[in-house]
Structure 1
Amino acid sequence: MRLKHLIGGMMLGSCFTVCASDNLVANVSYVGTYGNGDLFINVNRSINQSGCESDRIFVRANHPELTNWLNIATKAYLNNVAIQFRTNGCYMGKPTLDSSDRSWLHFAPK
């Protein structure tokens, strides 16, 4: 019985560090940056990121792709074009795009 609880706890705990969201398609509701340089992208659907489900993506100010993702999200918003993305982890309690190949953001295929 203890072994089942131990294995179950290990599986649940590991999900918070390795489980990414689904590959999602959504429209941008609004996009911007905070004074500290962090990027936020609000979308019109819930993001099923383990541990921090939300309709907002946060990206750290020092992320190497921040400018590219801000441009994509802004153009998608202005042109009412969907984006496709996958978050990987949480930042400030919201889904985030990290620096690994497990997260991405691009225009959705038509």
Structure 2
Amino acid sequence: MGRRSGANRDCFLLNPAAKSALHMTMFRFLGVLLGIAIRTGSPLSLNLAEPVWKQLAGMNLTIADLSEVDKDFIPGLMYIRDNEATAEEFEGMTLPLHSP
């Protein structure tokens, strides 16, 4: 389904699967860039989604934060959270696209 709906769908997210040495170097550079911007008081125009800023500040994310990025994902996530099923049942499930 992708990021078709949500307030921050025009913003960038950090990829948690980006763990290679190159990615770590890139993340370190971003951190240095942010640090320089903060220390010098120079605004840095980064179009990062609100949940990314919360994570950078060390804050915990909530379901509402996920909804800001992709609200269409929430009904399926809630369905999985609220239903205890065996592996076989889970494989055979069709997840609802919208909340009832």
TM-score (norm 2): 0.32
Pair member with larger Rg = 2
Higher RCO by CA contacts (8 Å cutoff, separation 6 or greater) = 2
In terms of fraction of residues, the more strand-rich structure is 1
